[in-house]
C-alpha cells in the first residue's frame, strides 16, 4: 500500500489507500487497520526514516522504509521482522541478507538523532523552512512537532437536530466517548478512532466530522436566519453544513464550486443533516452569467480558498512532500483571483470572509493586505471583536485576523480574516 501511495503523488493518499484495500478483499479488518496505521505512521516519519537509511547506505524504497520503521519505531530485531515477512500467500517476501543487516544495524536505536538537520526532525522539505520560520518565529520547533503528530477526530453537533450535550449522550449510548472542545461550542473530540460511518448518531445526522478550527471559521461567517450567503469554494460541503445550521434553514445559501462530483458528494451530506436551504451552482461553465447576475447581492460570502494545506499536515502527512515552489506561486495567484471574484458578490454593508487551512503568511496575511490595498471599499474587522458575536467562547487571539495552530490551540492550522464592504452613503 505504501508503494501505491508513493507512486500516485498527484492523488490524495487516503483515496489511493482506500482503492488499494477495496481491491484486496482478502485482507481482514484487523489487518486493514494495522496496515493503514503502519503506512500513515511511515508517512509521518518519512524524513527521519530516510535519514537513517541514507546513513546505512540504503535506498529509500517503500520496502526499506517499512523495514526501517519496524526497527526504529517498534524495536524489531531481524528475527522478529522475519516472522512477519515470511513469503506466505499475500505476505511480503522474506528478508535478504542485506535487509537483515539493515534491521540489525537500526534495531534499538531512537528515531531521533542529534545529528539530524532541523528539517528532518520536523519532517518538512528544506525549502519550506523560511516560510515556517516566518509563520511561527520562536515557536517554530513546537509548531512543526505538532504538525508532525497525528490529529484527533473532531465532531460538530448538528444544531438543526440536537445540541452538543445531546450529541455527546447519543455517542455515549453507542459506547463512544467524546469530550467538549474548548473553542467551538458545538465541537466534540473523540478519545480514539471510531468507525463513524456505521454509528447511528452519524447516520442520523446528529454529528458531522469537522475539525474544531474549521467549525470556528464557519461561525465567523456570522450567517443568520434570513441572510443570503455564498460559500464560494464549497468543496465537499463541511462549512456549508455548519453555515446552514447557523441559518436554521432560513434564508438562501448558495454552494459554489468548479467540480460537479464534489457537489454531488455534498448533497448526500446535506440530506443526512436535514439541510434544505442550499442551492448548488457550478462555476466556470461556458456562458456562465451567474456571477454577474448576482453581483452585490449577498450578506455574507465565504472565500475558503484552495491552498497548500500546510495546516492539515497532521491529517495529510504526505502533502508536505508533494508541494513545490511552483505550486505555491500558482496557488497565490489563484487565491488573489478568488478574493477579487468573491468580493463582487458582497452587497454594501455585507462581509467577505477569507479563509485557508495554511500556516504560510503569503497565503494568508499577505493576501488580505493585497486585497485591502486594491479594494478601498472594504475594511478589516477585528476577529477578537467579532468572536463574542459569532462564537461566544473565550477568544484565543488578540489580533484582527484569526490564526489557529496545532501547538497553541490543538486544532488544524487555520487562518481567517473578516472584511466588511462599505455601506452605500
Give the tens place of pLDDT for each residue, 364-392. Answer: 999 999 999 999 999 999 999 999 999 99
Q: What is the pLDDT of residue 3?
A: 64
- Domain with residue 158: its CATH number is 3.30.70.1170
In a domain, 141, yes or no: no
Question: What does the block give as the cell for 119?
Answer: 528539517
pLDDT per residue as tens digits for the range 12-22 = 666 666 666 66
- Altogether, the residues listed in the chain come to a count of 425
- Domain with residue 237: its CATH number is 3.40.50.150
Are 307 and 332 in contact by the 8 Å Cβ rule? The answer is no
In a domain, 130, yes or no: no
Question: Is the confidence at residue 40, as pLDDT, over 60?
Answer: yes
Q: What is the pLDDT of residue 34?
A: 74
More confident residue, 191 or 198: 198
Question: Is the confidence at residue 70, as pLDDT, over 80?
Answer: yes
Q: What is the pLDDT of residue 343?
A: 97
- Shared domain check, 194 and 259: no
Question: Is the confidence at residue 167, as pLDDT, over 60?
Answer: yes
Gap between the Cα atoms of 125 and 202, Å rounded? 38
Domain end point (choices 96, 117, 138): 117
How buried is residue 206: exposed, middle or buried, by Cβ count under 10 Å (0-12/13-18/19+)? Answer: buried
Q: What are phi and psi of 203, to 5 degrees?
A: -60, -30
Question: What does the block give as the cell for 219?
Answer: 461561525
**What separation in angstroms does the CA of 119 have from each of 67, 89, 124, 159?**
22, 39, 5, 42
Question: Is the confidence at residue 10, as pLDDT, over 60?
Answer: no
Q: What is the pLDDT of residue 400?
A: 95
- Shared domain check, 330 and 233: yes
Question: What does the block give as the cell for 162?
Answer: 440536537
Residue with cell 517554530: 140
- Shared domain check, 175 and 51: no
Instruction: Give the pairing of strands 298-304 and 346-356.
Output: parallel
Q: What is the pLDDT of residue 261?
A: 79
- Shared domain check, 233 and 204: no
Collapsed DSSP state (helix, strand, coil) of residue 266 = helix
Compute the average pLDDT of residues 80-91.
Answer: 77
The DSSP result for 132-161, as a single string, is HHHHHGGGHHHHHHHHHSPPPPEEEE-TTT
Note the pTM of the prediction, 2 decimals: 0.92
In a domain, 146, yes or no: no
Confidence grade of residue 9 (pLDDT, cut at 50, 70, 90): low
* Virtual torsion, Cα 26, 27, 28, 29, nearest 10 deg: -130
- Shared domain check, 109 and 20: yes
Question: Is the confidence at residue 115, as pLDDT, over 70?
Answer: yes
Q: What are phi and psi of 400, to 5 degrees?
A: -75, -20
Compute the average pLDDT of residues 173-197.
Answer: 93
Domain end point (choices 66, 92, 117): 117
pLDDT per residue as tens digits for the range 133-153 = 999 999 999 999 999 999 999
Question: Is the confidence at residue 322, as pLDDT, over 80?
Answer: yes
pLDDT per residue as tens digits for the range 334-352 = 999 999 999 999 999 999 9
- Shared domain check, 283 and 202: no
In a domain, 261, yes or no: yes
Are 250 and 256 in contact by the 8 Å Cβ rule? The answer is no
pLDDT per residue as tens digits for the range 236-292 = 889 999 999 999 999 999 999 988 877 788 888 999 999 999 999 998 877 789 999
Q: What are phi and psi of 179, to 5 degrees?
A: -110, 145
Q: What is the pLDDT of residue 332?
A: 97
Q: What are phi and psi of 310, to 5 degrees?
A: -60, -25
* Mean pLDDT for the chain overall: 92
Residues forming a β-bridge with 189: 154, 179
In a domain, 34, yes or no: yes
What range defines the domain where residue 274 resides?
212-421
Question: Is the confidence at residue 101, as pLDDT, over 70?
Answer: yes
Q: Per the structure, how many domains does the chain have?
A: 3
Gap between the Cα atoms of 250 and 241, Å rounded? 13
DSSP 77: -
pLDDT per residue as tens digits for the range 298-312 = 999 999 999 999 999
**What separation in angstroms does the CA of 118 have from each of 123, 310, 361?**
8, 17, 21
- Shared domain check, 237 and 369: yes
Question: Is the confidence at residue 2, as pLDDT, over 70?
Answer: no
- Of all residues in the chain, what percent carry a pLDDT higher than 90? 78
Task: Using alpha carbons, select from 91, 56, 94, 52 the residue that is nearest to residue 69.
Answer: 52
In a domain, 93, yes or no: yes
- Shared domain check, 193 and 267: no
Collapsed DSSP state (helix, strand, coil) of residue 88 = coil
- Shared domain check, 293 and 253: yes
Gap between the Cα atoms of 188 and 108, Å rounded? 38
Residues marked as catalytic: 357
Question: What does the block give as the cell for 43?
Answer: 508517512
Q: What is the pLDDT of residue 32?
A: 74
- Shared domain check, 362 and 229: yes
* 57 φψ region: left (φ > 0), alpha (ψ -120 to 50), beta (else): left
- Shared domain check, 225 and 368: yes
Q: What is the pLDDT of residue 21?
A: 63
Are 346 and 421 in contact by the 8 Å Cβ rule? The answer is yes
Q: What is the pLDDT of residue 83?
A: 83
Q: What is the pLDDT of residue 260?
A: 81
Amino acid at each position: 500500500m505504501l508503494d501505491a501511495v508513493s507512486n500516485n503523488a498527484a492523488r490524495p493518499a487516503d483515496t489511493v489507500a482506500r482503492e488499494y484495500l477495496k481491491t484486496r478483499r482478502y485482507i481482514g479488518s484487523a489487518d486493514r487497520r494495522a496496515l493503514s496505521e503502519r503506512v500513515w505512521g511511515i508517512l509521518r516519519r518519512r524524513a527521519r526514516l530516510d535519514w537513517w537509511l541514507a546513513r546505512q547506505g540504503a535506498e529509500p524504497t517503500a520496502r526499506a522504509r517499512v523495514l526501517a520503521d519496524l526497527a526504529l519505531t517498534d524495536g524489531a530485531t531481524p528475527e522478529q521482522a522475519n516472522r512477519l515477512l515470511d513469503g506466505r500467500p499475500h505476505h511480503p517476501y522474506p528478508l535478504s541478507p542485506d535487509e537483515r543487516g539493515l534491521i540489525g544495524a537500526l534495531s534499538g536505536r531512537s528515531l531521533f538523532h542529534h545529528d539530524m538537520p532541523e528539517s528532518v526532525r520536523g519532517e518538512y522539505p528544506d525549502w519550506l523552512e523560511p516560510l515556517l520560520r516566518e509563520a511561527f518565529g520562536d515557536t517554530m520547533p513546537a509548531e512543526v512537532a505538532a504538525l508532525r503528530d497525528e490529529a484527533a477526530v473532531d465532531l460538530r453537533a448538528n444544531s438543526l437536530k440536537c445540541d452538543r450535550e445531546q450529541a455527546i449522550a447519543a455517542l455515549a449510548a453507542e459506547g463512544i466517548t467524546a469530550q467538549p472542545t474548548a473553542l467551538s461550542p458545538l465541537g466534540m473530540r473523540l478519545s480514539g478512532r471510531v468507525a463513524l460511518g456505521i454509528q447511528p448518531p452519524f447516520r442520523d445526522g446528529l454529528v458531522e466530522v469537522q475539525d474544531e478550527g474549521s467549525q470556528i471559521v464557519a461561525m465567523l461567517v456570522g450567517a443568520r436566519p434570513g441572510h443570503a450567503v455564498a460559500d464560494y469554494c464549497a468543496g465537499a460541503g463541511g462549512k456549508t453544513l455548519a453555515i446552514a445550521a447557523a441559518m436554521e434553514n432560513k434564508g438562501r445559501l448558495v454552494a459554489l464550486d468548479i467540480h460537479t462530483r464534489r457537489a454531488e458528494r455534498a448533497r448526500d451530506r446535506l440530506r443526512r443533516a436535514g439541510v434544505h436551504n442550499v442551492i448548488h451552482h457550478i462555476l466556470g461553465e461556458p456562458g456562465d452569467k451567474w456571477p454577474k447576475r448576482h453581483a452585490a447581492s449577498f450578506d455574507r460570502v465565504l472565500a475558503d480558498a484552495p491552498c497548500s494545506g500546510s495546516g492539515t499536515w497532521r491529517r495529510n502527512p504526505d502533502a508536505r512532500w508533494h508541494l513545490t515552489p511552483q505550486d505555491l506561486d500558482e496557488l497565490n495567484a489563484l487565491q488573489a483571483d478568488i478574493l477579487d471574484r468573491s468580493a463582487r458578490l458582497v452587497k454594501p454593508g455585507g462581509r467577505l470572509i477569507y479563509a485557508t487551512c495554511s500556516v504560510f503568511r503569503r497565503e494568508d496575511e499577505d493576501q488580505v493586505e493585497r486585497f485591502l490595498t486594491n479594494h478601498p471599499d472594504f475594511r478589516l474587522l477585528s476577529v477578537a471583536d467579532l468572536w463574542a458575536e459569532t462564537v461566544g467562547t473565550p477568544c484565543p487571539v488578540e489580533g484582527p485576523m484569526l490564526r489557529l495552530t496545532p501547538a497553541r490551540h490543538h486544532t488544524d492550522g487555520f487562518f481567517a480574516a473578516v472584511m466588511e464592504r462599505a455601506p452605500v452613503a
